[in-house]
Amino acid sequence: MGSKKFLLGIFGDEDVLLEGVPAIREKGIKIYDVFTPFPIHGLDTAMGLRESKLHIAGFIYGITGTSIALGFMTWANTFDWRVNFGGKPFWSWPAYIPITFELTVLMASAGMVATFMYLCRLAPGVQKHIMDLRQTDDKMVVAIEIDEHTDVNNLTSILKSSGAEEVNTKVIDDWYRYKIA
Amino acid sequence: MGHHNTEVDLNERFEFPAKLKNIAFGLMGVGLLAFLAGVFISHDSTRTLAVMLQNGLFFMLITLISTFFIAIHYMANGGYMVALKRIPEAISQTMPIIALFVFGLIAYIILGKRNDIFIWLNIPAIKNAEARELLEGKTGYLNVPFFIVRIIAYLTVWSFGVMQYRKFSLQEDAAPAGSMKNHINSRLFSGFFLVFFAVTISTSSWDWLMSIDAKWYSTMYGWYCFVSALVSGISLMMLVIQYLRNQGHLKAVTDEHVHDLGKFMFAFSILWTYLWFSQYMLIWYSNNPEETVYFRQRYDHYKVLFYLNLLMNFVTPIFVLMKNTSKRNSRVLVFIASVIIIGHWVDYYQMIMPGTVGNNWHIGMQEIGLPIFFVGLIIWRTFSQLEKAPLIPKNHPYLQESLHHHV
């Protein structure tokens, strides 16, 4: 817990933001996050975010689904409860493929959605810190974490010169990473 | 990072390099000689006709797919493809030429009553009474006059579509900037063309491919052949685009566009597998002799191709293209596109051969020669058409969207 303090640069235009963000980073300043009301193409690269690992998680979920489906049907049909279907071998794997496919897709997609929601703190009922209410309307907010050692005046002028329309300070007293209402 | 393509030259033109032209003519010459040599050595007209049918249909359909690609993008208001639109346009211009070849070939087969290719052409000659009765029941659809009407309808309308899109596109270049007339006409035309295409791409594969094994039938067959052509057609576009980018042309087509085409290759490979498997599994499950005969013959006598088909068209694309960096890597894409095209050529081979040449199949001079000839023909025709118009359709209303495309 504890409190955290942020300096917020409020931007009004996405083109200014897309040039401002790399300019701020070039000065060696670490950006906590950028909040925008709509997705902005190219912002990920401008912020220097690493490539998402969500697809690797998706692959693992998918493989899990494949193994569970194939494994369970193999166990049920060849070991636990053998049933003769039209004289076919007990281990008739082509018949398992549709269910395996479905379970692979289901586990990969449901797992990815859940992971995405967890990582982005998006699940219903999850409390979020709102930096500035206008970030959900028409302004883009560049948040930089500061403490008592930060030269706020210098940082303010860097933000202003990078195109921020106004610079505010935001203190969040009750900082949590994950909290469900 | 606004993705402004400042270096894009909207009036860029392509010049057909003399070296490539020589390669194209070289391939055509070598392929034709090898084919003719193979024909004289083998002295087996069934095999020759089957090989011609396989290659004619395969290369006609993969070039026709380019027009389908344009049509579907017009219909869905797809903007991203504008920067690369001239490539499918140029590739599709090969289709009417191959259509003439296919028409001549099938007319020869039909009028010559070649029941070694299409067994239903001479029903009284079939010894088995049950098979005779079965095929007589199908004569309402599989009869010569209706068949000829259909092939003429398919090939004329398809060729007309191919040329019409090109015409609209060139008119758009000449029209004043901001004129929407050709765009709206293309979109309207897509509606009619796609409806016709959707029906005829299925029925044409029944006519030309499924009726080789006329006693057998499958409801998945039309889609299966279509997707086979679709994924190879998109791979062909990918190869042409990679060649142009490698030569320093087509700056407007970025990794983003290529990534999207790579996704198509990946997704349609899976769709092909889905259809292949659905057809296989339903037949395997119900286990009716009249249906299983199709796979029995392929599995017993074409085992290498049976597995090669799945290896090249399913296993390789899915595992290589799964990672997103490989869909942006030109070497990987060229490799996979080539595998897919050859793989689906094999797919068409194993559709046609068991019902015609039977269990004694060989890959010889004619099987190798004819595709080489067609590859040369496609290279020559595509690049000489590409030369005739600027590489970017500069008056297309979605051009800016395409230049700023970002996945």
Comparing CB atoms, the residue among B280, B287, B322 nearest residue A86 is: B287
Residues of chain B with Cβ-Cβ distance to A46 below 8 Å are 1
Query: What percent of chain A stands above pLDDT 90?
Result: 65
Domains of chain A: 4-51+138-172 (3.30.70.120), 54-119 (no CATH)
Query: What percent of chain B stands above pLDDT 90?
Result: 83
Q: List, for residues A104-132, the tens digit of each pLDDT value.
A: 999 999 999 999 998 888 888 888 888 89
If you average pLDDT over residues B325-339, what whole number do you get? 95
Query: What percent of chain A stands above pLDDT 70?
Result: 99
How many Å apart are CA B352 and CA B347, to the nearest integer? 9
Residues of chain A with Cβ-Cβ distance to B285 below 8 Å are 94-95
How many Å apart are CA A18 and CA B156, to the nearest integer? 51
pLDDT of residue B104: 97
Give the nearest chain B residue to A85 (CA atoms).
B285
pLDDT of residue A181: 73
pLDDT of residue B177: 83
pLDDT band at residue B1 using 50, 70 and 90 as cut-offs: very low
pLDDT of residue B6: 56
**Min CA distance, A19 vs chain B (Å)?**
7
Task: Using the Cα atoms of residue A141, residue A144, residue A145 and residue A147 in order, give the sign of their dihedral.
Answer: negative
How many Å apart are CA B260 and CA B148, to the nearest integer? 39
pLDDT of residue A1: 60
Q: List, for residues A153-177, the tens digit of each pLDDT value.
A: 999 999 999 999 999 999 988 888 7
pLDDT band at residue A19 using 50, 70 and 90 as cut-offs: very high
Is B178 in CB contact (< 8 Å) with chain A? no
Is B176 in CB contact (< 8 Å) with chain A? no
How much is the mean pLDDT over chain B? Answer: 93
Comparing CB atoms, the residue among B2, B281, B322 nearest residue A97 is: B281
Give the nearest chain B residue to A45 (CA atoms).
B1
How many Å apart are CA B390 and CA B45, to the nearest integer? 45
Residues contacting B401, CB < 8 A, separation 6+: B79, B80, B82
Contact residues, A window 89-118, toward B, CB-based 8 Å cutoff:
94-95, 97-98
> Above 50 in pLDDT, residue B79?
yes
**Residue in this structure with the two tokens 């293209």, named with its chain if needed:** B321
Comparing CB atoms, the residue among B277, B280, B406 nearest residue A42 is: B406
If you average pLDDT over residues B318-327, what whole number do you get? 91
Query: What percent of chain B stands above pLDDT 70?
Result: 99
Terminal CA-CA length for chain A: 16
Terminal CA-CA length for chain B: 14
Q: List, for residues B160-188, the tens digit of each pLDDT value.
A: 999 999 999 999 999 988 889 999 999 99
pLDDT of residue A98: 93
Q: List, for residues A63-79, the tens digit of each pLDDT value.
A: 999 999 999 999 999 99
Q: Is ipTM over 0.90?
A: no
Is B1 in CB contact (< 8 Å) with chain A? yes
How many Å apart are CA B319 and CA B326, to the nearest integer? 10
pLDDT band at residue B2 using 50, 70 and 90 as cut-offs: very low
pLDDT of residue A85: 84
Contact residues, B window 267-326, toward A, CB-based 8 Å cutoff:
277, 280-281, 284-285, 287, 322, 324
Q: List, for residues B237-262, the tens digit of each pLDDT value.
A: 999 999 999 999 988 999 999 999 99
Angle at which helix B289-301 crosses helix B303-310, to 10 degrees, equals 90
